[in-house]
Each structure stands twice: as C-alpha cells, then as structure tokens.
Amino acid sequence: MRFFFHLHNDIDTRDEEGTELPDRDAARALAQKEARTMAAESVRKGHLNLAHFVEVTDEAGAALFRVEFGQVIDVYDR
C-alpha cells in the first residue's frame, strides 16, 4: 500500500510521491518518526510549534490520520 506524508509546519508541503508500506501501523510509525525529525529540525533553528503536524493520506487522497508534533514529544520544563 502506498501512503502519502504531507507536512504542515510553517509552510505546507504535499507529498506527491508516497511511500510503499505494508499497513497502516507502519504508516503511523513512519509519520511519528517524520514528525519527531521535523520537530527536531525546528528546535535546531530555535523554535517549535507543537501544533504542527504530518498528515497521512491513502492512494485515493483520503485523509487517514494526522500526527501532531506535540503528540509524539514529551516536553518537560523542570
């Protein structure tokens, strides 16, 4: 199955190529990894918006789920 990973942070980036994965769980795992990677990239530049997210769609373009940065990062302030 092919899944598409669209990034919504300071600009929206649509995935037109997609990634072949065995199932939805694999797509969720990859979306989490991508969200953490992009959040980390933001932190490197000195900012982070926990509401930014990766949205996953199927081949028909239907939205399956979204992973917000804040859902996959534990933030502590002490």
Residue keyed to tokens 């199955």: 1
Identify which of 74, 67, 62 has the alpha carbon closest to the alpha carbon of residue 25.
67
Of the candidates 15, 58, 66, 72, which one interacts with another protein according to CB under 8 A? Answer: 15
Return the range that interacts with another protein (CB under 8 A); candidates 7-15, 21-29, 58-66, 70-78.
7-15
Q: Smallest distance, Å, CB 7 to another protein?
A: 5
Terminal-residue alpha carbon distance, the chain: 43
Tokens of 54: 């990766």
**Binding test (CB under 8 A) with another protein, winner from 27, 53, 54, 57:** 54
